[in-house]
Structure 1
Amino acid sequence: MDARQIAALLSYAATLDSRVRRIMATDEQAAATIRTWAQALADVPAMAEAAGWDAGRAVRRYYEQANGDRSAQFRPIEPADLLAAWAPHRAELMNRHTDPLPATDPDDVAQWRAELLGTRAAVATGQTAPSTHRELTSGIHPAIAARLASIGSYIPADTRQQLAPYRPMRAAREAAVAAGHPDPLSVPCPCQWCRAPEGEPCRSRRLGRRTTPHPTRADLAAAEAA
């Protein structure tokens, strides 16, 4: 806060505490007090919307809390009280902040570091909102999710066709669904000696995994679809 903001803040505090009014009674006392507060609170903003901070509200809260504490209510507010009130807001801003890539040439180490520290200082003093790049990793962007839903698969159709010889079971399932038939693997196989669970291919006694489902399984899938 600068001297003008400090003067306004002390004027507000004087409406809540007659002792502050007495401190500010003369021009000399007021100037000295404003100068002292401005030096102590140079890194504390008057207002920082990104952090939910308002120095005026902090002053009011100080006196509201003091009214419930008989040991503290007789002491007028001091710069240290505002520093203590601002500290958790500053910590919350820095926890949300991720250093953006400086625009300076990375070979200029001194300038690169100065820009990085300058950005952090601006966030810590409420001058700039934090750069929350972590939000980019919170999930799939809605536009991308909508496009995936519209195409129905992560793999394009032409790519699936090229992969079909290497995935015969998957290709058979996709072909059945595309033709309007039920997916046989959507139900467990009812064959007594197969019993393949839902989603897994049928088994053969001699050859192991089958590339086509048992007819009874296809019939069961059709019956359930109907």
Structure 2
Amino acid sequence: MDRREIAGLLAYMGRLDPRTMRTDKNELRDQVDQWHELLGDVPLATDYGWDARDAIRAHVVASPYPILPVDVARKWTKHSADRLARHTDPTPAADPDDVLAWRAELLGTRHAVAQGQRPPNEQRAITSGGPDPKVEARLRAIGSVIPPAVRADLSRFRPTRAAREAAAVEGRPDPLAVRCEWCHAPAGEPCHTRRIGLDGGARGNARRATPHPSRLDLAAAALHSQESAA
């Protein structure tokens, strides 16, 4: 903003908040100098979402304190940073072998976005449409997003999951489908070693490689109930 724009902005601010008005010429001149010193590189308004008058109006509505030039400067800095955060650099038209021209075009685009001279180049994710037909055909062929050979290789690193998958394939009860009444492990979690101390409290919290027998019985009973209901 130049001094003329600063003077107009101060007049607008004085209408909204009379406490900021200066009637003495010397005080007014000092006020213009102060605001120009801090807002000389801040635009009065841009074509893409910034207007210093909006910042002043919002401050007057939200705060009981008179607005200071640093308040406007901080709002502009945040506005500029938000725009850059939403910006994705487009591919420059310059020859990529000309490093200086390529870099200059990138920096020029970013500067224009930050100064509100052009809108951010936003790349939005695809939010509609189904998967590629080739992907669907592949999933139907292998029956899973993880091929059987890869799943077999991973089984040694995921013994609990592998055991649950094998039980489901073979039609055996899945002990992790129910809560363990012995160690109180919730459904989906493996059993824990439970030792009782002299004071009657539980001791130990190590995971067991196999579920407690009582949990197997509960899982078998739950599976039988499901089969009977079906």
Q: TM-score, normalised by structure 1?
A: 0.49
Comparing both structures, which one devotes a greater share of its residues to helix? 1
